[in-house]
C-alpha cells in the first residue's frame, strides 16, 4: 500500500509539473528578433493555443525553437567577450582550414614589432579566429578505430610566460572544440609569473565567463621554470590523467581517444601524440610524416624515424615506441 501511495504521489507531481510548464509557455511573452538577426520571431501564445489541434509535438517544437534561440543569444554574448579583446571567434576567416593567413601591406608594417617580441606573427594571430578549422591529417585507419566509452578523463595543462593572448586562447578553444566533453575534466593555465597586463585580469575574466568552471588559472608568484610550473599545474589537476602542452598549439579531432586508451591499458605509459607544425609567419598547418619523439644524449628534442618492424607491419595506426 505504501508503494502504491508513492506512485500516486509521483503521478500527481508529474501532472502538476506538466501543467505548470504549459502555463509557463502560455504566459511567456514573444521574443522578437532585432533587425538583421538570422532567427525568426517566436510566439508561444499561438503555440499553446493550437496544442489541442497539434498534440504534444507542438510543445516539443516550441521548446526546441526556444532552446535554439537561447543558444543563439548565448553565443552572441560569448562572442562579444572576444570582441572586447580585439579577437575573433567562429570557424571561418583568415587561416581557415589551416591555410596560410596573410596581412595587407599596411598591416605588415604594424606586425614587425610584435613578431620580434614573440618569435611568431602575433599581430596576424589576432586576425585569425580562435576557432578556426584545421585539416585532419590522421591516416584513414586511425579515423576508423573505435574506442570504449569508459575512457578516463584528462586535465589539460598549458604552461605559459608572456605568450600572446590570442595564441593562448586559440589553444584553449581548440582543446575544448576537439576534445569530447565527457573526457575533458578541465583546462589549467599555469602562468609562470608573466608581466604582460593582458595576461592578468583580461585573460582571467575571459576564461571565467567563456568557460565557467572548466578553465582554471594558476599563477606562480615568481618565475619557476618549465618543470616546476608543470608540477604546479599537476597539483591543481583533478583528472585521472594529466596532459602537458605548450600554450601555442591547436588540436585536431580524435586526438584524445588513442592517448587515453593507451594509458588506460597501462598507466605507466607516457604518450606523445603525433605532432604537425604551425608555421610561425603565416600559421599554416604543415603535416609532419610519421615519426616518434625522442632525445639525443645532449637532451635535444628530435624526431626519430619508426623502426623497421613498424614499417613492415604496414599499419600506420600502430603506436611507435
pLDDT in tens, 127-158: 999 999 999 999 999 999 999 989 999 999 99
pLDDT at residue 97 in the model: 94
Q: Is residue 75 part of a domain?
A: no
Separation of alpha carbons 129 and 85, rounded Å: 12
Do residues 211 and 237 both lie within one domain?
Answer: yes
Do residues 225 and 306 both lie within one domain?
Answer: no
Q: How many domains does the chain have?
A: 2
User: 246-277: per-residue pLDDT in tens?
Assistant: 999 999 999 999 999 999 999 999 998 888 99
Do residues 235 and 311 both lie within one domain?
Answer: no
Q: Return the percentage of the chain with pLDDT > 70, whole number.
A: 77
Do residues 271 and 298 both lie within one domain?
Answer: no
Do residues 274 and 298 both lie within one domain?
Answer: no
pLDDT at residue 2 in the model: 44
Q: Is residue 173 part of a domain?
A: yes
pLDDT at residue 59 in the model: 76
pLDDT at residue 56 in the model: 63
Q: Which of 255, 266, 265, 316 is nearest to 291 (CA)?
A: 316
257-286 burial string, b = 16+ CB within 10 Å, else e?
A: bbbbeebbeeeeeeeebbebebebebbbbe
Between 304 and 30, the higher pLDDT residue: 304
Instruction: Write phi, then psi, for 74 (nearest 5 degrees).
Output: -60, -45
Do residues 256 and 306 both lie within one domain?
Answer: no
User: 58-78: per-residue pLDDT in tens?
Assistant: 777 777 767 666 655 555 555
Q: Is residue 42 part of a domain?
A: no
Between 57 and 19, the higher pLDDT residue: 57
pLDDT at residue 217 in the model: 97
Do residues 256 and 175 both lie within one domain?
Answer: yes
pLDDT at residue 305 in the model: 87
Do residues 313 and 239 both lie within one domain?
Answer: no
Do residues 146 and 258 both lie within one domain?
Answer: yes
Separation of alpha carbons 304 and 202, rounded Å: 40
Q: Is residue 97 part of a domain?
A: no
- Residue 40 confidence (pLDDT) above 50: no
82 burial via Cβ count (<10 Å: 0-12, 13-18, 19+)? buried
Q: Is residue 307 part of a domain?
A: yes
Q: Return the percentage of the chain with pLDDT > 90, whole number.
A: 58
pLDDT at residue 109 in the model: 86
What does the DSSP 8-state code read for residue 173? H
pLDDT at residue 292 in the model: 83
201-210 and 165-178 helices cross at what angle (nearest 10)?
20
Q: Is residue 106 part of a domain?
A: no
Do residues 163 and 197 both lie within one domain?
Answer: yes
CATH number of the structural domain spanning residue 192 = 3.90.550.10
Q: If DSSP codes are grouped into helix, strand and coil, which group holds residue 24?
A: helix
pLDDT at residue 75 in the model: 55
Q: Is residue 99 part of a domain?
A: no
CB 292 within 8 A of CB 316: no
CB 232 within 8 A of CB 157: no
For 166, the domain range is 142-278
Do residues 205 and 315 both lie within one domain?
Answer: no
| 86 phi-psi bin (left φ>0, alpha ψ -120 to 50, beta other) | left
Q: Is residue 316 part of a domain?
A: yes
To the nearest 5 percent, what fractions of the chain are helix, strand and coil? 45, 15, 40
198 burial via Cβ count (<10 Å: 0-12, 13-18, 19+)? middle
Amino acid at each position: 500500500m505504501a508503494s502504491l501511495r508513492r506512485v500516486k504521489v509521483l503521478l500527481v507531481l508529474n501532472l502538476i509539473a506538466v501543467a505548470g510548464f504549459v502555463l509557463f509557455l502560455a504566459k511567456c511573452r514573444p521574443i522578437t528578433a532585432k533587425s538583421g538577426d538570422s532567427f525568426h520571431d517566436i510566439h508561444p501564445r499561438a503555440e499553446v493555443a493550437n496544442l489541442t489541434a497539434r498534440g504534444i509535438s507542438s510543445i516539443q517544437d516550441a521548446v526546441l525553437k526556444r532552446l535554439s534561440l537561447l543558444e543563439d543569444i548565448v553565443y552572441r554574448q560569448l562572442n562579444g567577450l572576444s570582441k572586447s579583446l580585439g579577437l575573433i571567434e567562429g570557424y571561418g576567416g583568415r587561416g581557415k582550414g589551416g591555410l596560410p593567413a596573410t596581412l595587407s601591406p599596411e598591416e605588415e608594417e604594424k606586425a614587425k614589432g610584435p613578431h620580434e617580441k614573440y618569435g611568431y606573427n602575433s599581430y596576424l594571430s589576432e586576425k585569425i579566429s580562435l576557432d578556426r578549422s584545421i585539416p585532419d591529417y590522421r591516416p584513414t585507419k586511425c579515423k576508423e578505430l573505435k574506442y570504449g566509452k569508459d575512457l578516463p578523463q584528462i586535465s589539460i595543462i598549458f604552461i605559459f610566460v608572456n605568450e600572446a593572448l590570442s595564441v593562448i586562447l586559440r589553444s584553449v578553444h581548440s582543446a575544448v572544440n576537439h576534445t569530447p566533453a565527457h573526457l575533458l575534466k578541465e583546462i589549467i593555465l599555469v602562468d609562470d609569473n608573466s608581466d604582460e597586463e593582458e595576461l592578468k585580469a583580461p585573460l582571467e575574466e575571459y576564461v571565467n565567463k567563456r568557460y565557467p568552471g572548466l578553465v582554471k588559472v594558476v599563477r606562480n608568484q615568481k618565475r619557476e621554470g618549465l618543470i616546476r610550473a608543470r608540477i604546479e599545474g599537476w597539483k591543481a589537476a583533478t583528472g585521472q590523467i594529466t596532459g602537458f602542452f605548450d600554450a601555442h598549439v591547436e588540436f585536431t579531432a580524435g586526438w584524445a581517444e588513442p592517448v587515453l586508451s593507451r594509458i588506460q591499458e597501462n598507466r605507466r605509459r607516457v604518450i606523445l601524440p603525433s605532432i604537425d607544425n604551425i608555421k610561425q609567419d603565416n600559421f599554416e598547418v604543415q603535416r609532419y610524416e610519421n615519426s616518434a619523439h625522442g632525445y639525443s644524449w645532449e637532451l635535444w628534442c628530435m624526431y626519430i624515424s619508426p623502426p623497421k618492424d613498424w614499417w613492415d607491419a604496414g599499419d600506420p595506426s600502430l603506436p611507435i615506441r
